Amino acid sequence: MSDEDLFAQEMSGVTPLKVEARHLKRDQSLSDEQKKIRQAVASEEETADLNALSTDHLELVDPLAYLEFKKPGIQHGVLKNLRLGKYEIEAKLDLHNRTVEEARRDVFEFIEDCQRYGLRTVIIAHGKGQRSEPKALLKSHVYRWLPQLPQVMAFYSAQPKHGGVGATYVMLRKSDEKKLENKERHERRR
């Protein structure tokens, strides 16, 4: 006897249920809290899509190495003042005890937020990574990620009072609002 025959034999006395057509109407009115949650999730998904910071093909830097980068056009004196910690630090991101993926997301969002609020000089504390395996993993990733971000004009390892080679000063480009303010201020002088 086949499985189908056994099934038919077992079901011989069973009568099917009547199926009534049902129209399920979903309540379309969302509470304000639900709307905010949906917007936040959508915003996170958009941010994740924009985050092109790479995590592959990484060259590890020495845990005690100084990090330095500047885009063309940055004046020597500006980089020197950044290196010496002479600019006011307007925000800080601490990456200690973060995974690479968490740090990747945090760096991207931090730089985006700083740009949005018109901040120019910030610091990222990534640690030296002397006790991690592989050594200086987060520091190496930060060194690779920062030049990939168009907002980053220059960076340099921090002064000892701000974390030394375990942290990096980052100079961001001026926001459009700050550029406009500068332009208006200079036009008034004429």
Each residue's pLDDT tens digit in the chain (190 positions)? Answer: 788 888 888 888 887 777 665 554 545 566 777 767 777 766 665 555 577 787 777 889 999 999 999 999 999 999 999 999 999 999 999 999 999 999 999 999 999 999 999 999 999 999 999 988 889 999 999 999 999 999 999 999 999 999 999 999 999 998 777 777 777 877 877 6
How far from each other are the two terminal CA atoms of the chain, in whole angstroms?
101
Other C-beta atoms lying within 10 Å of the C-beta of residue 5 = 9
Task: Name the phi and psi angles at 161, rounded to 5.
Answer: -65, -15
- Domains of the chain, first to last: 68-179 (3.30.1370.110)
d(CA 68, CA 155): 6
Q: Check residue 185 and report its DSSP letter.
A: H
d(CA 110, CA 121): 12
pTM above 0.75, yes or no: no
**Encoded tokens for 61:** 């830097």
Burial class (CB in 10 A: 0-12, 13-18, 19+), 77: exposed
Sign of CA dihedral 75, 77, 78, 84: positive
d(CA 46, CA 42): 6
